[in-house]
Structure 1
Amino acid sequence: MFKGVYTAASGMISAERVQEMLSHNLANAQTPGYKQDRTAIRAFPEMLMQRIQAQQGTGLSGGSARGMGTVGAGRSLTPIGTLHTGVYAQEGVPQFSQGPIQETGRTLDVAIIDQSLPANPETGRQGQLFFAVQVGDDGEIRYTRNGQFAIDAEGYLVTPEGYYVLDEALNPIYTGNDLFVVTEDGHILLDPQVLATGPAGVNPEPRLWLGYTEQPHHLVREGHGLWRWAGAAGEADEPFAEPQLIDAVPFLNAAQNGGNVTFRVQQGFIEQSNVDVSQTMTQMLMQYRLYEANQRVLQTYDRSMELAANQIGKLY
């Protein structure tokens, strides 16, 4: 069997997996707050190919003329060269760069606009901000960048899937209607009529929960634009093991920054997907060509094996 068959086959498999990831990105090019995945194709370790041959002469029990040790009586190994054993596609890595901000004029649309957020000194990657939502009745919390909200039948602010949007006390936000104002620091100013006729105990000025983490790579993607915090082993007591409230992060505290807020919340705007459609389609075409090239290599091997079986071994 030609060893290069496996190398070409691994190239086809890798190209197919990258193509699937790019297709998923392209399908979410219009999904608000979506963060694209990227991957890299890496090579498996190379193998050193050697040929076993009979030793010439005597006195070579300690090694051959090429410096290779013996592998048996009267035999030694001669290097032929290296063989590339193929490639593989790494898992997709989310890219948390901010997507374009689009004005919608819709009161229920809210966008987080990052402004000079500090980078993690260890990784060099910029931290990220997220809204918090409650998933299900058990109180599980998920994070999202999709600020395209709605109001449910009971008057609570929810995501398009019906998950409660949470305030900084991690409670659902009651707005009653869409006649509210969101300030740049995330406070929600409710309609006076809602305060007068709404249920008892309504917070007159709730604030959107805005979480920050220096380690967004510890977030696991879930459906509907949600992220689950996975963390890492041994990080339960680390200061950024969970996304933090803005006020709890010292270097983002407005007082310590001379009143300069490094982020703002913009009502009537939405953060679009950070997928570049033109670039993604170009990458898809490149992967198609890569798949096609490896396919031609396999076809060449197939013709070579056919020739070996039908011609070289033919008896006249």
Structure 2
Amino acid sequence: MFKGIYSAASGMIAADRVQEILSHNLANAQTPGFKQDRAAVRSFPEMLLQRLEASPSSRAGRSQPGRGGRLETPIGTLHTGVYMQESIPRFGQGPLQETGRALDVAIVDQYLPPNPETGRRGHLFFAVQAGDGEIRYTRNGQFVLDQDGYLVTPEGYYVLDETLNPIYAGHDRLVITEDGRVLLDPQVAGGAPADVNPEPRLWLGYTEHPERLIREGHGLWRWPEGEGEEPFAEPQLAANVPFLTDPANPGGIPFALKQGFLEQSNVDVTQTMTQMLMQYRLYEANQKVLQTYDRNMELAANQIGKLY
């Protein structure tokens, strides 16, 4: 069997899976808050080829102790192909687009300082309450009002405040400040239910390990269970993170919310299409290698056998 078949086949499989990730990125190029995935392709371990042959002592009728009467002659290494190990989300800041809608909010966190102890720079997320009652995280600030006047996502998930309770807005006549306070119209605020916060503040979570988040549908992310042991690992209220506040400027924060703006996807359409074309060419090249092997095996089976 030609060993190169495995290398070519693994290359085709890896290119196909990378193409799926790029297609998913391209399909969400217009999705607010979407974070593109990057494919991590790794090579299989190299194999050392050796030729086994009879040793001079074994040919003379004497076996060589410990080697079974054989010599091992190194030939070289064999590459056995590649595989796509995982997809890694890229949490870079997406461009902002002005919409003018009072319920559209964008997070601007590109100037967050790194943690002076770990050197890691984190990211911020909104918190919403999913249908199962659990907390999910999102960068999509395209909010709407439900029939009861609460701030929700387009899928109907409640947007949460700093106390992890739904935010009552009542009407789109509201102001969202840069630090996340939701200031309602006085007439609307007067008709709010008695048990709601009269001046809520959007919950903004900070995490230094966004790569641990698990992507779900509708732009939501879920934090896996048992992953919160490290400091600032699981998303926590950004206002409680010490190095995100400036002691010399009480209330000063290195991030802001922009009302009337949406953070667009961070997918570079031109670059993604170029990468898709490269993966197509890679798949095609490996396919031609397999076709060459197929023709060689056909000759070996049909032509060489005619000599006997």
After TM superposition, the score normalised by the length of structure 2 is: 0.93
Q: What is residue 61 of structure 1 aligned with on the other side?
A: 64
Change in 2 beyond 3 A, CA 1:254/1:157: farther
Q: Is the 8 A contact 1:117 1:262 kept in 2?
A: yes
Task: Determine if the alignment matches structure 1 residue 142 to structure 2 residue 104.
Answer: no
Q: Is the 8 A contact 1:221 1:227 kept in 2?
A: yes
Q: Is the 8 A contact 1:133 1:143 kept in 2?
A: yes
Q: What is residue 92 of structure 1 aligned with on the other side?
A: 87
C-alpha distance in 2, partners of 1:144/1:89? 27
Q: What is residue 297 of structure 1 aligned with on the other side?
A: 289
Q: Is the 8 A contact 2:41 2:86 kept in 1?
A: no
Match of 1:72, SS state, is coil
Deviation readout 1:65-84 (Å, 9 max, x if unpaired)? xxxxx6322x2111111110
1:30-109, aligned counterparts within 5 Å? 30-56=30-56, 61=64, 71-73=67-69, 75-109=70-104
Q: Is the 8 A contact 1:115 1:264 kept in 2?
A: no
Q: Is the 8 A contact 1:37 1:92 kept in 2?
A: yes
- 1:254 positional shift: 4.1
Deviation readout 1:243-301 (Å, 9 max, x if unpaired)? 11122100112446565420000100000000000000000000001000100100010
Q: Is the 8 A contact 1:251 1:257 kept in 2?
A: no
Q: Is the 8 A contact 1:110 1:269 kept in 2?
A: yes
Deviation readout 1:185-236 (Å, 9 max, x if unpaired)? 0001001111222322332211000110111112111110000011655x43
Task: Determine if the alignment matches structure 1 residue 246 to structure 2 residue 242.
Answer: no
Q: What is residue 206 of structure 2 aligned with on the other side?
A: 212
Task: Determine if the alignment matches structure 1 residue 161 to structure 2 residue 155.
Answer: yes
- 1:61 positional shift: 3.3
Q: What is residue 273 of structure 2 aligned with on the other side?
A: 281
Task: Determine if the alignment matches structure 1 residue 188 to structure 2 residue 179.
Answer: no
Deviation readout 1:117-149 (Å, 9 max, x if unpaired)? 13356875420100000012x421000000000
Q: What is residue 67 of structure 1 aligned with on the other side?
A: none
Q: CA RMSD in A?
A: 2.0
C-alpha distance in 1, partners of 2:115/2:304? 63
Match of 2:17, SS state, is helix
Change in 2 beyond 3 A, CA 1:228/1:78: same
Change in 2 beyond 3 A, CA 1:115/1:87: closer
C-alpha distance in 2, partners of 1:77/1:164? 68
C-alpha distance in 2, partners of 1:172/1:255? 31
- 1:241 positional shift: 3.8
Q: Is the 8 A contact 2:115 2:243 kept in 1?
A: no
Match of 1:99, SS state, is coil
C-alpha distance in 1, partners of 2:240/2:88? 28
The number of residue pairs the alignment matches comes to 305
Change in 2 beyond 3 A, CA 1:123/1:239: closer
- 1:90 positional shift: 1.8
Q: What is residue 128 of structure 2 aligned with on the other side?
A: 133
Task: Determine if the alignment matches structure 1 residue 230 to structure 2 residue 230.
Answer: no
**Bigger mean CA offset, 270-279 vs 194-203:** 194-203
Change in 2 beyond 3 A, CA 1:119/1:254: closer
Match of 1:111, SS state, is strand
After TM superposition, the score normalised by the length of structure 1 is: 0.91
Q: What is residue 8 of structure 1 aligned with on the other side?
A: 8
Deviation readout 1:169-193 (Å, 9 max, x if unpaired)? 0000000010000001000100111
Change in 2 beyond 3 A, CA 1:143/1:206: same
Q: What is residue 298 of structure 2 aligned with on the other side?
A: 306
Task: Determine if the alignment matches structure 1 residue 117 to structure 2 residue 112.
Answer: yes
C-alpha distance in 1, partners of 2:166/2:251? 29
Q: Is the 8 A contact 1:11 1:87 kept in 2?
A: yes
Change in 2 beyond 3 A, CA 1:125/1:89: farther
Q: How high is the sequence identity, in percent, across the aligned residues?
A: 73
C-alpha distance in 1, partners of 2:268/2:179? 29
Whichever residue aligns with residue 144 of structure 1, its letter is T
